[in-house]
Chain A
């Protein structure tokens, strides 16, 4: 509870009484709000088994097929996100290494690329991958998964690789200067120093940021719904909604599925971060000024 100490002291009897009164008021207000929502839901008949049954009742005849559709959606979402993650970490590392090892002028086109891709909405980049690429003659239909998957992967990769490039760069720059100097002094070349000494340590520092970014990538796979037919989780939910005509129920379930996946990933990132903070407090000063964690906004 360290967060409380910044704003206020440990509470005395008077403050505790005020807190209790505040608690009572807040509980009443929140319950009232909840009551209004539930009331509206009942009024509109949103709790009927007709609407919920296919989603939560295993004995319902539609239950199996609904969850098979959801299951396919989850698999496809994770597949696209995983491929995009691997590609963008790989390319991002390359960009970062190039940026770190190029001279001042050689760096300029890279910085231009990074700024360009960071300034574009990811949905526009997915559009580029899915729609524009085939028009200019890049045919991805023959690849396993087809145009939609690879267009989506390309869009996500284009967007995320530059983010990773920045994450990797921040990670490498956060390492103590002595690491590089010692590696060079033992006779390693520049490339070896980067590969054997700097990058492995940087990745350790970056692991939480990488996992947080995975959450962003997972969420962004759903944007393909607007552009092409790729049966990821949201598209599947959308087709279920069209069949069952229960938007509130279906989208609550879809949201819960996303939350379940992303929340666990977020906790994993937190856990690793905390463990690292304990293990390497003396070794590495992690940059917590946002340099390693440019994931806000979840774009």
Chain B
């Protein structure tokens, strides 16, 4: 285990780098996912079609293919950025499809009677949305959205494996190949630090879930 304890600093640096991938991708995919979800539930047919296309494409393509496309395809179009940028971009595009579906299913889970009741007591569209539909939708969205986010945190390892550099994954690669350390202790180290991302995230999610839970 000295392989881990001796290189704790290196692991911790990798941990922070992985965490920053996660957080950038979190912000990006939430924004993009909600936008796509808005398209999918809008009354405008072309926007709905666009949303459906987006979701079908990114949900059925492996993240690794999206990453390859971003990193090798986009430069062909004259878009040259760092691997970190392409990595986060790929993760955002991929995750946005899942965020969209979580949000959409949350909105759909509100029964039509709720909106009808809101209208029948004289609330207009935006009031009904604001006071009746969205508060309920947001609560049902939390659990599936939480598991999407945790899955995304785990997928940040794929971005790392893709070659962003400096994150947990490449720390492990450096230690095993360049320094020739045993793979098992390094694996344990990587696994431990990934658990340090996913387990706290899961705990936070549970707290949030309990806070917003409603009995139906």
Contact = CB atoms under 8 A, between A and B. Distances in A.
Interface of A: 2-9, 11, 15, 19, 22-23, 26-27, 30, 40-41, 44, 46, 115-116, 118-124, 127-128, 131-132, 135-136, 215, 219-220, 222-223, 225-227, 234, 237-238, 241, 247-248, 251-252, 254-255, 258-259, 262-263, 266, 289-290, 294, 296-299
5 contacts: A3-B104, A116-B195, A118-B198, A119-B154, A298-B94
B57 A46 contact: no
B94 to A, nearest CB: 8
Contacts of B65: 222, 234, 237, 251, 254-255, 258
A259 B191 CA distance: 31
A119 B195 contact: yes
B62 A258 contact: yes
A135 B64 contact: no
Contacts of A223: 62, 64, 158, 161
Interface string B60-100: 11111110110011001110000000000000001100100
Given A120-B191, A297-B151, A3 B41 contact: yes
Given A119-B202, A223-B161, A247-B76, A299 B69 contact: no
B77 A41 contact: yes
Contacts of B76: 44, 46, 247-248
Contacts of B151: 296-299
Interface in B113-157: 114-115, 119, 125, 129, 133, 143-144, 147-152, 154-157
Contacts of A290: 143-144, 147
B66 to A, nearest CB: 8
Given A121-B155, A266-B60, A2 B112 contact: yes
The prevalent SS among residues of A at the interface is helix
B47 interface: yes
The prevalent SS among residues of B at the interface is helix
A19 B61 CA distance: 32
Contacts of A116: 195
A137 to B, nearest CB: 10
A247 B68 contact: yes
Contact of A124 (B63, B73, B107, B191): B191
A263 B61 CA distance: 9
B60 A259 contact: yes
Contact of A119 (B152, B176, B194): B194
Contacts of B155: 121, 297, 299
B194 A226 contact: no
Contact of A296 (B73, B101, B119): B101
B144 A132 contact: no
Given A22-B44, A222-B64, A7 B129 contact: yes
Contacts of A247: 68-69, 72-73, 76
A263 B59 CA distance: 9
B172 to A, nearest CB: 8
A7 B115 CA distance: 7
Most chain A CB within a 10 A radius of its CB, from B46, B62, B69, B148? B62
B91 to A, nearest CB: 11
Contact of B59 (A7, A241, A298): A298
A220 B125 contact: no
A128 B59 CA distance: 26
Given A120-B191, A223-B158, A255-B61, A19 B148 contact: no
Interface in B32-47: 41-47
B208 to A, nearest CB: 15
